[in-house]
Amino acid sequence: MFKGIFIEKDEAGYRAAVSDIDEAQLPAGDVTVRVSHSTLNYKDGLAITGRGPVVRKFPMVPGIDLVGTVETSSHADYKAGDRVLLNGWGVGEGHWGGLAQKARLNGDWLVPLPEAFTPQQAMAIGTAGYTAMLCVLALEKHGVTPEQGEIVVTGAAGGVGSVAVTVLAKLGYRVVAVSGRPAEADYLKNLGAVEVLDRAAFSAPGKPLARERWAGAVDVVGSHTLANVCASTQYRGVVTACGLAGGMDFPATVAPFILRGVTLAGIDSVMCPRADRLVAWQRLGRDLDLGKLGLITHEIGLAEAIPTATRLLDGEVRGRVVVDVNV
């Protein structure tokens, strides 16, 4: 038996609880991992609370991220004792995930734990941080450099936002953070933001084109915020869109794209090819200040993950949450 968060949905309703789970119930896979840590991402919040339809099969163990040690493996790339990391691939949505002491997985989904990080640090980064790096890589790929001007990061005090601010500042960009929490202004400046703007200035319907300000953007909010960011992006600037914390809609016009040559780059971490993941993790090893990662992160145990999921969706959690699944 092992402990894990177990989500059930039946006539009695939708519920998540820490349960004792029989190892015989683990899903099929060629690598069994003794999990040490997982995390809470926005999607885990949706899965645990049932507020969004991210769980596709019941019962489900949530947790889109995990780090741990291989216990048994019939996959050619892994043997018992290897330290591994997993982000995404539908784990915690359609296949049992990381918020448990054990997981059985397809070895193709795993990557070796990067040497730059302890297991806790890898989970402090997690899907949120690796997605932030995918956004940075997309800005670079489309030619955005620090000389071109400011980069705006929305939802900045959340997980993706905090890592994006930290990495971009270290790379020499002038980062403007957008947050609904004025109390986190000092936190965001400590991470490297030069200015913090109130998200209210972005969340209402705006004009098709506004004053050109941003050379680039990392948007985790969607909806009017993404539309307003596109409308205020400079000629040939680049907006990376990865989230929907403010809504899944995109009430925009094509004006920024056809009149200013703005590029809207979509970012997906879940099915991102392995080669790109390896680049993102390698760049995190180089471009993320681990001292700042400590400021971004706090650690909780498995049982606390359930109430924390609600707080995360309510926008009350700062930065990243690491879950020690053995506490």
Q: Does 228 bind ligand NDP (CB under 6 A)?
A: no
**Closer residue to ligand NDP (CB): 108 or 198:** 198
3-state helix, strand, coil in the chain (%, to 5): 35, 30, 35
Considering beta carbons, is residue 37 or 199 the nearer one to ligand NDP? 199
- Contact string (CB under 6 A) for ligand NDP, positions 164-183, x = contact: ---------------xxx--
Residue among 128, 138, 139, 265 that touches ligand NDP (CB under 6 A):
128
The residue whose two tokens read 């590029």 is 263
Instruction: Return the ∠ at Cα 116 (arms to 115 and 121), rounded to 5°.
Output: 110
What single-letter DSSP state applies at residue 152?
A: E
Q: Which is nearer to ligand NDP, 269 or 297 (CB)?
A: 269
**Cα–Cα dist 51/15, whole Å:** 11
Say how many residues make up the chain: 327
Q: Which of residues 6-65 bind ligand NDP (CB under 6 A)?
A: 41-43
Q: How many residues bind ligand NDP (CB under 6 A)?
A: 33
Pick from 23, 186, 249, 268: which binds ligand NDP (CB under 6 A)?
A: 268
Pick from 61, 70, 238, 242: which binds ligand NDP (CB under 6 A)? 242
Minimum separation from the CB atom of position 183 to ligand NDP (A):
10
Q: Rounded distance, CA 169 to CA 124, Å?
A: 18
Beta carbon of residue 315, minimum distance to ligand NDP (angstroms, whole number):
4
Contact (CB, 8 A) for 35 and 102? yes
Exactly one of 220, 239, 265, 302 binds ligand NDP (CB under 6 A); that residue is: 220
- Element (H or E) spanning 231, and its range? helix 223-231
Tokens in use for 32? 């069994």
Q: Please report the sign of the dihedral spanned by the C-alpha atoms of residue 25, residue 31, residue 34, residue 36.
A: negative
DSSP line for 251-320: ---SHHHHHS--EEEE--SSS--HHHHHHHHHHHHHHS-HHHHHHHEEEEEHHHHHHHHHHHHTT---SE
The three-point CA angle 301-49-250 to 5° equals 120
Closer CB to ligand NDP, 107 or 243, in the complex: 243
**Window 82-121: residues binding ligand NDP (CB under 6 A):** none
Task: Name which of 76 and 200 has its Cβ closer to ligand NDP.
Answer: 200
Report the phi/psi class of residue 130: left, alpha or beta, with left for phi > 0 and alpha for psi in -120 to 50: alpha
Rounded Cα gap, residues 25 and 28, in angstroms: 9
Which of 111, 116, 137, 244 contacts ligand NDP by CB under 6 A? 244
> Which residue's C-beta sits nearest to ligand NDP?
158
Q: Shortest Cβ distance from residue 304 to ligand NDP (Å)?
A: 16
Please pick, from the candidates 105, 245, 280, 302, the single residue that binds ligand NDP as defined by CB under 6 A: 245
Does residue 267 belong to the site contacting ligand NDP (CB under 6 A)? yes
For ligand NDP, the binding residue among 86, 122, 138, 156 (CB under 6 A) is 156
Residues within the interface to ligand NDP (CB under 6 A): 41-43, 127-128, 131, 155-161, 179-181, 199, 203, 220-221, 225, 242-246, 267-270, 312, 315, 317
